Amino acid sequence: MKKPTANFKPCWIFSTLLLSAFTFIGRRAIASPPEKTTEKEELLVLPGEVGQRGERLVVSLRGEPKTLNPLISVDTPSREVIGTMQADLVHINRATQLTEPALAKSWKISPDGLRYTLVLRRGLKFSDGYPMDADDVLFTFRLYLDEKVHAPQRDLLIFDGKPISLQKVDSHTIVFQLPKPYGVMERMFDGWAILPRHLLEKPYEEGKIAQVGALTTPPNHWAGLGPFRLKEYVAGQRLVLERNPYYWKTDAKGNRLPYLDELVFLFVPSADAQVLRFQSGETGVISRLGAENFSVLSRDQKDYAMVDAGPGLEYNFLFFNLNDLGEKAPPEMIQKQKWFRDLKFRQAVSSAVDREAIVRLVYQGRGAALWGLVTPGNRRWADEKLPHSPRSLEKARELLKEAGFSWGVPGNGDSWLQDSDGKPVEFSIIAQSSSSERSKMAALIQDDLKQLGMRVQVVPLESRSLLDRVTQTKQYDACVLGAASYDADPNSDINVWLSSGGLHLWNPSQARPATPWEAEIDRLINEQMYASTFEQRKKLYDRAQEVLAENQPMIFLVSPNILAGAKNTIGNFHPAVLEPYVFWNVEQLYLKNGTENATR
Amino acid sequence: MRYLLRRLGHALLLLAGVSVLTFLFTALAPGTYFDEMRMNPQIAPETIAALRAQYGLDKPLPLRYASWLSSLVHGEMGFSFAYNSPVAPLLLVRAGNTLLLTITSTLLAWAIALPLGTWSAERMGRLPDRLLSWGTAMLLVIPDLALALGLLVLAVRSGWFPTGGMASVGFETLSPFNKLRDVALHMILPVTALVLSTLPLLFRHVRAAIADILDAPFLLAALGHGIPKRTLLYRYALPAAANPLISLFGFSIGMLLSGSLLIEVVMSWPGLGPLLLEAILARDLYVVIGGILFSTFFLVGGNLFADLLLYWADPRIRTESNAQ
């Protein structure tokens, strides 16, 4: 026994050494705010339940955030974190889905719709105590517009090839000049985090702007205008944010927000592990839940309550390959595209798909069947007149008969569908293997279509390979996919609607519209973009939704509900259907009574 | 010395080969990191093209390999698209956490397997040995994933152990002793899972090696001379049976960085596992290549170490290689 024991001891000593080497990377902020001006602060007073100051909220993130820099962030965890550390000029209230004043206390639009004059709040300060004024806004938009910065959202500030321009009127007034009237510019101000010029000017001039805001940034080198600021980052484990004492909102009683002292994001790499952490009480809030985990958690709600916020903005759909594949297309593909291009064929497929079964079997009833791109969660913009035709195999068979399809009877007694040339109708549907929901949808559709005599194979593909096939090589028959609008406004899906758009998935990036109905949609969408009143826009957008539904290039299936949960001790927890689902009012979240700490 | 040099040469060649192959295979995998952005309606295709160009993804493969090699020499190991930073620091921090877990569990597994295997071999065919064989066979067939999940369920139901991670929230406020305790507590479940998954293999090898040697004439002779059985086992049988075990130990070292990836993901241990999984799914090319190279380095290094140990332990190998 001697040898093993001898091994055992050094192992513990070694572990101790490793420990001290790898876990103590925390750093403390030593920000020293310049206390020069004591300008009267114009704070924003929020209505709603008044909470209690203090405590710490622990939540889990599926992945590790990659950066704190809003100029380059694209992944969900980074954006979720950045959302709690930054603020925008005009904000979309996630509950009402309407715009409201944020850093800008008011704004005026010139009669021709080309000039937006924004007035900033007085006395605003970044989380490191530095005052913020119009120069920060000008600087921020200079960065977003700079081609060399590669800000992913840059395109949204370009209209017909011309960028918007900004002028400073005085230290608190800025004019945004648009190249073209744009109906929803005030919504567009949402999400553009105003950045600290005093911290970013030097790296920007040195061309190192993409490197700033790394998670390893010392806390006193990073600042924002959001409710929380950086406190500590431990690679692979957690990100700790602390209360921003300079935040510009108060509650109805005049207490400065946010209520929480600390917000801790734990990095938990799998959904099941997130559920376990929540169940064991280590985390206080859980969001982005699948229906299965939601029902598991719903079973014993003692210390926590689960919330179903209803359908969100995600839409799942089936589409066929309608690309012009040119001369090189193999003959089978040409034959298949003959069916796919036939409107009656697509209508028959749509009629045969049992959407209610998908809602029931894939989402355990926590979703809404879908007949158009705009989901019922988008209350203002969904077209209520859109027909919700129930599933009908008879109608589907009739449509197929009209289109010249017939049912041959081979030896085994099954009757398979064949086209007018006598070719059996056989194709494959690709689906993301990483999304068990979409794989299940594809399998259910396979079953539904089998009843029409179509032979369908489901091919699960890893997400990147699938996107590669759909957007690059165009080697696929049909595909089940989903997308989520980032805002309730129609313009967030513009690349899906327009035939020139990269997300016009069935035939992306067309030079000119391939069909008359695509031209019609292009016209309607472009018109609504520049129409000035909501009623006009709504009318045009409804019509676009109808044209899309009539032509079925995308066969819409289901919109899943937004599911979340929180400990009973957490106050003001009101999940919204817009991102960020649970942290949109993070400054108002609080822990009741202060009795229970989220830590064990 | 010549033996050592030759071995080192082999190891370096192997590493170079692996780096070329991983580069080739990751480049051949369909899709790139920037494809996911295509599904984001906010991002224009021109921006994506510009980003690809910025990271040199539009250059031919040999050029990319060359620039990667030069960054390897500078200690950066390429650039992570997702983190916007060099790969080496990302990997190093997490490799440390992984090693903490795997070194502990490997040593623990060996510390259990050696005496247990010897004990069992001594009683070959009797009830305790049969029971142990059964038990380890059972452990062998349970997938690691099931083992880890089972332990996690236990943790949630009992509330005795944390359900993942490496440290509690509020870790930075603890005293040094409590910090140690906290990490040790967090290590219990993943270490148990790792030990349970490696133990059966080690145990069976030790048992077989000892059992083989127990029948050897020199041991029977020693037994005849009245040497106590205990001394016999540990002083004579174990060293004689060491050769296959040394090779196995080299293999254990080789698995230090790659053996725990799954457990880490399930138990959210902040090691290489979660990072690599995410990088593979997101096609964060250089992180994947860096991770593979890291674990290959350990595999090759472990084998080299085992070879050297064998050279030192076994005179037969010494004379053989000197004769050549």
Beta carbons of A141 and A171 less than 8 angstroms apart: no
Read off the DSSP letter of residue B240: H
> Is A161 an interface residue toward B (CB < 8 Å)?
no
- Res. A12 pLDDT band, cuts 50 70 90: very low
User: In a 3-state reduction of DSSP, which class is residue A159?
Assistant: strand
Distance between CA atoms of residues A491 and B41, nearest Å: 10
How far are the Cα atoms of A6, A172, B211, B222, B232 from residue A3, in angstroms, in the given order? Answer: 5, 75, 19, 22, 15
As a whole-number percent, the residues of chain A with pLDDT over 90 amount to: 66
Question: Averaged over A295-308, what is the pLDDT?
Answer: 90
Asked if A463 and B179 come within 8 Å (Cβ–Cβ), the reply is no
Cβ contacts of A247 within 8 Å, gap of 6 or more: A127, A225, A226, A227, A256, A257, A258, A587
User: In a 3-state reduction of DSSP, which class is residue A92?
Assistant: strand
* Residues of chain A with C-beta less than 8 angstroms from the C-beta of B83: 66-67, 214-215
Beta carbons of A445 and A318 less than 8 angstroms apart: yes
Distance between CA atoms of residues A141 and B35, nearest Å: 26
DSSP B241-303: THHHHHHHHHHHHHTTTTTTHHHHHHTT-SSHHHHHHHHHHHT-HHHHHHHHHHHHHHHHHHH
Q: Which of A201, A169, A222, A189 is nearest to A103 (CA)?
A: A189
The shortest C-alpha distance from B6 to chain A (Å) reads 30
Angle, vertex CA A199, rays to CA A197 and CA A201, nearest 5 = 55
- Res. A543 pLDDT band, cuts 50 70 90: very high
> Is B96 an interface residue toward A (CB < 8 Å)?
yes
> Is A74 an interface residue toward B (CB < 8 Å)?
yes
> Is B82 an interface residue toward A (CB < 8 Å)?
yes
Q: Which of B94, B291, B263 is nearest to A270 (CA)?
A: B263
Cβ contacts of A509 within 8 Å, gap of 6 or more: A500, A501, A502, B45
Angle, vertex CA B56, rays to CA B52 and CA B57, nearest 5 = 55
Beta carbons of A4 and B111 less than 8 angstroms apart: yes
The shortest C-alpha distance from B44 to chain A (Å) reads 6
The shortest C-alpha distance from B324 to chain A (Å) reads 35
* Interval A340-381: pLDDT, tens: 999 999 999 999 999 999 999 999 999 999 999 999 989 889
* Interval A219-249: pLDDT, tens: 999 999 999 999 999 988 999 999 999 999 9
How far are the Cα atoms of A292, B119, B312 from residue B245, in angstroms, in the given order? Answer: 46, 16, 14
Beta carbons of B249 and B110 less than 8 angstroms apart: yes
Judged by phi (left if over 0) then psi (alpha if -120 to 50, else beta), residue A519 lies in alpha
* Residues of chain A with C-beta less than 8 angstroms from the C-beta of B170: 56, 599
* Interval A40-58: pLDDT, tens: 889 999 998 999 998 999 9
Amino acid letter, residue A599: T
State how far Cα B247 lies from the chain centre: 15
> Is A72 an interface residue toward B (CB < 8 Å)?
yes
Q: Which of A458, A472, A525 is nearest to A498 (CA)?
A: A525
Distance between CA atoms of residues A247 and A227, nearest Å: 6
Distance between CA atoms of residues B183 and B266, nearest Å: 17
DSSP A71-123: TT--SHHHHHHHHTT---SEEE-TTT-SEEESSEEEEEE-TTS-EEEEEEPTT
Asked if A4 and B271 come within 8 Å (Cβ–Cβ), the reply is no
* Residues of chain B with C-beta less than 8 angstroms from the C-beta of A75: 82, 282
> Is A492 an interface residue toward B (CB < 8 Å)?
yes
Beta carbons of A200 and A212 less than 8 angstroms apart: yes
State how far Cα A200 lies from the chain centre: 27
For the record, the structure tokens of B220 come out as 């029977």
Packing angle between helix B87-122 and helix B176-214, nearest 10 degrees? 50
> Burial letters for B168-203: b for 16+ Cβ neighbours within 10 Å, e otherwise?
bbbbbeeeeeebbebbeebbebbbbbbbbbbbbbbb
* Interval B3-18: pLDDT, tens: 788 888 888 898 899 9
Asked if B30 and A468 come within 8 Å (Cβ–Cβ), the reply is yes
Distance between CA atoms of residues B303 and B309, nearest Å: 10
Beta carbons of A26 and B172 less than 8 angstroms apart: yes
The DSSP bridge partners found for residue A316 are A482, A558
Read off the DSSP letter of residue B175: -
Domains, chain B: 17-87 (no CATH), 88-162+191-323 (1.10.3720.10)
* Interval B72-117: pLDDT, tens: 888 888 888 888 888 999 999 999 999 999 999 999 999 999 889 8
| pLDDT exceeds cutoff 70 at A288 | yes
Q: Which of B40, B159, B167 sits opposite A237 (nearest CB)?
A: B167
| pLDDT exceeds cutoff 90 at A269 | no
| pLDDT exceeds cutoff 70 at A402 | yes
Beta carbons of A67 and B84 less than 8 angstroms apart: yes
Amino acid letter, residue B77: M
For the record, the structure tokens of B180 come out as 């140690």
Question: Within the 431-490 window of chain A, which residues sit less than 8 Å (CB to CB) from chain B?
Answer: 434, 462-465, 467-469, 471, 483, 485-486
Amino acid letter, residue A301: Q
Asked if B169 and A264 come within 8 Å (Cβ–Cβ), the reply is yes
Read off the DSSP letter of residue A39: P
Alpha helix (H) residue ranges in B55-126: 61-73, 87-122
Residue B76's pLDDT is what? 86
Cβ contacts of B24 within 8 Å, gap of 6 or more: B61
* Interval A547-597: pLDDT, tens: 999 999 999 999 999 999 999 999 999 999 998 999 999 999 999 875 544
* Residues of chain A with C-beta less than 8 angstroms from the C-beta of B30: 464-465, 468-469
Residue A283's pLDDT is what? 93
The shortest C-alpha distance from A237 to chain B (Å) reads 6
For the record, the structure tokens of B179 come out as 């910090």
* Residues of chain B with C-beta less than 8 angstroms from the C-beta of A525: none
- The least confident of A28-37, A413-422, B87-96 is A28-37
* Residues of chain A with C-beta less than 8 angstroms from the C-beta of B274: 64, 236, 267, 269
Q: Which of A15, A275, A267, A10 is nearest to B187 (CA)?
A: A15
| pLDDT exceeds cutoff 70 at A403 | yes
Residue B322's pLDDT is what? 64
> In chain B, which residue's Cα lies nearest the Cα of A213?
B84
Q: Which of A449, A241, A431 is nearest to A345 (CA)?
A: A449
Beta carbons of A223 and A130 less than 8 angstroms apart: yes
Residue A301's pLDDT is what? 80
ipTM of the complex, rounded to two decimals: 0.82
Distance between CA atoms of residues B302 and A23, nearest Å: 26
* Interval B153-176: pLDDT, tens: 888 788 788 888 888 877 778 888
Asked if A236 and B38 come within 8 Å (Cβ–Cβ), the reply is no
Distance between CA atoms of residues B28 and B202, nearest Å: 37
Residue A3's pLDDT is what? 37
Question: Averaged over A258-287, what is the pLDDT?
Answer: 91
Judged by phi (left if over 0) then psi (alpha if -120 to 50, else beta), residue A69 lies in beta
Distance between CA atoms of residues A537 and B200, nearest Å: 69
* Residues of chain B with C-beta less than 8 angstroms from the C-beta of A488: none
Q: Is the dihedral of CA A217, A33, A254, A186 positive or negative?
A: negative
Residue A27's pLDDT is what? 37
Beta carbons of A215 and A65 less than 8 angstroms apart: yes
Provide the 10 A C-beta neighbour count for residue A171.
Answer: 12
Q: Which of A8, A19, A471 sits opposite B38 (nearest CB)?
A: A471
The shortest C-alpha distance from B10 to chain A (Å) reads 30
Q: Which of B149, B164, B234 sits opposite A268 (nearest CB)?
A: B164
Gyration radius of chain B over CA positions: 24
Residues of chain B with pLDDT under 50: none
Amino acid letter, residue A40: K
Amino acid letter, residue B116: L
Number of residue pairs across A and B with CB atoms under 8 Å?
A: 213
Beta carbons of A366 and A561 less than 8 angstroms apart: yes
User: In a 3-state reduction of DSSP, which class is residue A131?
Assistant: strand
